[in-house]
């Protein structure tokens, strides 16, 4: 690394590594404290369009995977098999991609940040591709550059960490609802943290204005809008690494490809990566993809229902990383065309899902556990036969949940 931070090896001692992937099977017996009765609040929303499964797109670039695997401390995050949840949900096998420790941080965001920051530096310094960490470090030693973003927590901390490792400055804008502990976690990475009197969207706007006023600053934002899409596109490319890992891990376990992939959704950038990954393949049958949002911030579901990008007012939620009111303009076309279904979950359901995953040995915050809460809404409770039919999920289906953060992720002190 160029600077002080290097990932601690203690995060990677939970499973054995085999070739390019980590796999594990959790015990199949009853786990005390995990109840089988689904929690499905009456106000939960549902959207489905099964024909989205037939949409196809071109394959996204895979070069980020090679870059990530060359970073010090890189290891694939675990893919846990949880038979107890498969039994509860009435499916063949259930896997959880555990992003509670990714490159030394408790969330998946570092994948997108590293790839986007690398291209920002390369463009400033005129570096040729493929990119290497050594070339980036040599370039940053000659640059005066501040990386800027707005964040609800994990993205900002990841950018602060990456900036420090590259020897750059970071300036992070957070909305006023951000807890002091979350702001301190970001500042502990060496970043300047500015609290904005307003929402996440207003923090994004202020970060953009700050960059426009400084020629030595670059915005590294994980959402897009017309005129600002190049950097968010790199972030989406970076997220695809975790999906390539899932492919290898399923193959290692002798498991067939998933029939359903469940992804938590904020502005939609990770969901865009998921859609691009699975909708660019010729393999059949393609998996259904289910997006899960907080009931307090259903911007994707409302946009899908209206068939046009919509901004919605947001409320308070313990799913801090998903509390977004406007979809990314870059993600929206892919989600509109290729996302099979979307649902919303309430805080109580996300809290219960996080606790159940914890009892099964998987660390997850409410934003990550939203995937479990959402698949419970889809596959259990009143009307589940119709929803299962829309998703084409049966008793032998393989389901993959993306748990995007651990319980130590930034902002999860609000969920206490």
Parse the chain into domains and list their residue ranges. 9-107+232-415, 110-229
Structure tokens at 263: 């992804």
Give the pLDDT score at 16.
29
Regarding predicted confidence, which is higher, 42 or 111? 111
Give the pLDDT score at 5.
40
Read off the pLDDT of residues 122-137 as tens digits, 9 standing for 90 and up: 999 999 999 999 999 9
b/e per residue 57-66 (b: at least 16 CB within 10 A): beebeeebbe
Asked whether the beta carbons of 403 and 292 are under 8 A apart, the reply is no
> pLDDT-derived band of residue 4, with 50, 70 and 90 as boundaries?
very low
Give the pLDDT score at 410.
58
Give the pLDDT score at 152.
82
Average pLDDT over residues 239-268: 97
Read off the pLDDT of residues 296-314 as tens digits, 9 standing for 90 and up: 999 999 999 999 999 999 9
Give the pLDDT score at 283.
73
Task: Quote the CA–CA distance of 260 and 400 in Å, as a whole number.
Answer: 6
- Asked if the model's pLDDT at residue 42 lies above 60, the reply is no
Read off the pLDDT of residues 279-295 as tens digits, 9 standing for 90 and up: 999 877 899 999 999 99
CATH number corresponding to 110-229: 3.40.50.1100
DSSP bridge pairs for 368? none
Cα–Cα distances (Å) from 134 to 34, 131, 139, 210, 378, in that order, read: 47, 9, 9, 29, 46
Read off the pLDDT of residues 161-213 as tens digits, 9 standing for 90 and up: 999 999 999 999 999 988 888 899 999 999 999 999 998 899 999 999 999 99
Give the pLDDT score at 2.
63
Give the pLDDT score at 302.
97
Task: Quote the CA–CA distance of 415 and 284 in Å, as a whole number.
Answer: 40
Q: Would you say the CATH fold of 110-229 matches that of 9-107+232-415?
A: yes
Average pLDDT over residues 404-415: 72
Q: How many CB atoms are closer than 10 A to CB 251?
A: 15
Give the pLDDT score at 44.
75
Mean pLDDT, rounded, of the chain:
89
Give the pLDDT score at 8.
31
Asked whether the beta carbons of 260 and 371 are under 8 A apart, the reply is no
- Asked if the model's pLDDT at residue 240 lies above 70, the reply is yes
Give the global pTM. 0.90
Q: Looking at domain 9-107+232-415, does it have CATH number 3.40.980.10?
A: no
Give the pLDDT score at 24.
58
- Asked if the model's pLDDT at residue 273 lies above 70, the reply is yes
Average pLDDT over residues 17-35: 43
Asked whether the beta carbons of 186 and 156 are under 8 A apart, the reply is yes
Give the pLDDT score at 244.
97
Read off the pLDDT of residues 334-367 as tens digits, 9 standing for 90 and up: 999 999 999 999 999 999 999 999 999 999 999 9
């Amino acid at each position: 690394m160029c600077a002080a931070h290097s990932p601690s090896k203690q995060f990677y001692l939970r499973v054995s590594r085999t070739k390019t992937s980590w796999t594990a099977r959790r015990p199949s017996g009853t786990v005390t404290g995990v109840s089988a009765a689904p929690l499905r609040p009456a106000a939960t929303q549902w959207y489905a369009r099964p024909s989205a499964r037939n949409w196809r797109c071109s394959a996204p670039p895979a070069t980020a995977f090679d870059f990530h695997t060359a970073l010090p401390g890189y290891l694939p995050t675990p893919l846990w098999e949880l038979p107890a949840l498969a039994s509860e949900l009435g499916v063949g096998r259930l896997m959880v991609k555990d992003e509670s420790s990714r490159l030394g941080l408790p969330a998946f965001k570092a994948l997108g940040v590293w790839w986007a920051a690398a291209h920002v530096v390369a463009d400033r310094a005129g570096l040729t591709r493929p990119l290497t960490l050594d070339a980036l470090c040599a370039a940053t030693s000659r640059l005066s550059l501040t990386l800027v973003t707005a964040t609800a927590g994990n993205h900002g901390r990841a950018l602060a960490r990456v900036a420090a490792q590259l020897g750059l400055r970071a300036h992070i804008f957070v909305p006023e609802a951000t807890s002091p502990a979350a702001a301190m976690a970001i500042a502990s990475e060496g970043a300047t943290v500015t609290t904005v009197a307003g929402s996440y969207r207003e923090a994004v706007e202020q970060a953009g204005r700050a960059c426009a006023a400084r020629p030595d600053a670059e915005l590294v934002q994980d959402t897009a809008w017309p005129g600002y899409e190049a950097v968010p596109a790199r972030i989406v490319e970076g997220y695809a690494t975790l999906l390539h890992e899932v492919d290898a891990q399923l193959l290692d376990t002798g498991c067939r490809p998933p029939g359903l992939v469940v992804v938590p959704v904020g502005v939609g950038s990770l969901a865009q990566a998921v859609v691009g990954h699975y909708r660019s393949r010729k393999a059949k049958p393609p998996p259904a993809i289910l997006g899960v949002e907080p009931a307090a911030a259903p911007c994707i579901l409302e946009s899908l229902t209206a068939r046009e990008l919509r901004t919605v007012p947001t409320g308070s939620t313990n799913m801090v990383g998903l509390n977004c009111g406007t979809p990314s303009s870059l993600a929206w076309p892919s989600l509109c065309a290729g996302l099979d279904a979307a649902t919303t979950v309430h805080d109580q359901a996300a809290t219960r899902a996080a606790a159940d995953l914890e009892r099964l040995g998987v660390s997850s915050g409410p934003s990550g556990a939203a995937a479990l809460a959402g698949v419970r809404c889809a596959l259990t409770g009143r009307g589940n036969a119709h929803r299962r039919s829309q998703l084409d999920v049966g008793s032998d289906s393989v389901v993959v949940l993306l748990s995007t953060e651990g319980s130590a992720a930034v902002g999860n002190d609000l969920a206490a």
